[in-house]
A = this chain, B = another copy of it.
Amino acid sequence: MRSAPLGFFDSGVGGLTVVRAAQELLPHEDIVYLGDTARVPYGSKSPETIRQFATEDVQWLLAQGVKAIVIACNTATAHALPHLRETFRVPIIGVIESGVEATLADKDTERVGIIATRGTIRSHAYQHALALKRTGLIIHEQAAPLLVPLVEENWLDHPATLAVLHTYLDPMVEKGIDALLLACTHYPLLIPTLRGILPSDIRLIDSATTCAEHLKSELTRLDLLHPPEQGGQLQIHLTDLSEQFETLAKRFLARSPGKIRRASL
């Protein structure tokens, strides 16, 4: 069982930022990644539709014999994680719990900003999880639906991106925040731009990195770590193939994604 691959899924290729972080921490794990690019994005769709799509994603990964599943997508975690855990027996790890823990790791953090897709913000999943763990937090949420398209265009420091970021972030910076939670797996690519426009004392919490750390501790706890020899293979399957998705996959993974296969759900 320990030698079985991990299954990751996302609405598209953004979740490869989580894969990249996981591979750095867990170089011996084999990973099967499913990106539902035929139906991307999930972030603008209804909770019912997101749950249905996520259920199909998990069924496909289980058919590949995975030992555990990572939901490498904030929107799917927000709307589908409880449902998936009720439906399937395999360990399922989302991106929210770990992001919340990393945010609260600093005990002086009192004011938290969250940016995410509209779907994630509407779920209030982060707000809820944060409030359960620490009372008295002040939380500012902002749906940021234009950031995914801008990141996918690679316009990371284009004047349009700066104008969009100022519109989303200036109000919460004026109110005052200690930490900003980047609650979408596309956003790590914006970190250099964000560092340039935000006051330097605001901590940035990146849900890709924190999820990979959580995954490592969960695999350790469940005694599911891959033996420290061989392994380390990555297989990417997408429900729609296009040149654009291949280009994006390379950028999110920060290296060649190898041969990408088409999956039929």
Interface residues of A in 127-170 (CB under 8 A from B): 145-146, 149-150, 152-153, 155, 158-161, 163-164, 167
Flag whether A83 is at the interface (Cβ < 8 A).
no
Flag whether A44 is at the interface (Cβ < 8 A).
yes
Flag whether A46 is at the interface (Cβ < 8 A).
yes
A153 near B145: Cβ-Cβ < 8 Å: yes
Flag whether A118 is at the interface (Cβ < 8 A).
yes
Interface residues of A in 37-56 (CB under 8 A from B): 37-40, 44-46, 49
In the complex, identify which listed stretch (A185-193, A221-229, A238-246) lies at the interface while the others stay far away. A238-246
C-alpha spacing A145/B150, complex, angstroms = 9
C-alpha spacing A150/B145, complex, angstroms = 9
Provide the residues of chain B in CB contact with A118, threshold 8 Å: 244
- DSSP majority for the A interface? loop
Copies in the complex: 2
| CB of A139, distance to nearest CB on chain B (Å) | 22
B149 near A242: Cβ-Cβ < 8 Å: no
C-alpha spacing A163/B241, complex, angstroms = 30
Provide the residues of chain B in CB contact with A37, threshold 8 Å: 45
Provide the residues of chain B in CB contact with A45, threshold 8 Å: 37-38, 240, 242
The residue of chain B having its C-beta at the shortest distance from the C-beta of A147 within the complex is B149
Provide the residues of chain B in CB contact with A149, threshold 8 Å: 145-146, 149
| CB of A241, distance to nearest CB on chain B (Å) | 6
Provide the residues of chain B in CB contact with A44, threshold 8 Å: 40, 242, 244
Provide the residues of chain B in CB contact with A161, threshold 8 Å: 160
A-B contact pairs, 13 of them (CB 8 A): A38-B49, A40-B44, A44-B242, A44-B244, A46-B240, A46-B242, A146-B146, A146-B150, A146-B155, A146-B160, A159-B163, A160-B161, A160-B164
A38-B49, A146-B150 given. 9 additional CB < 8 A pairs? A40-B44, A44-B244, A45-B240, A49-B240, A145-B153, A146-B155, A146-B160, A160-B161, A160-B164
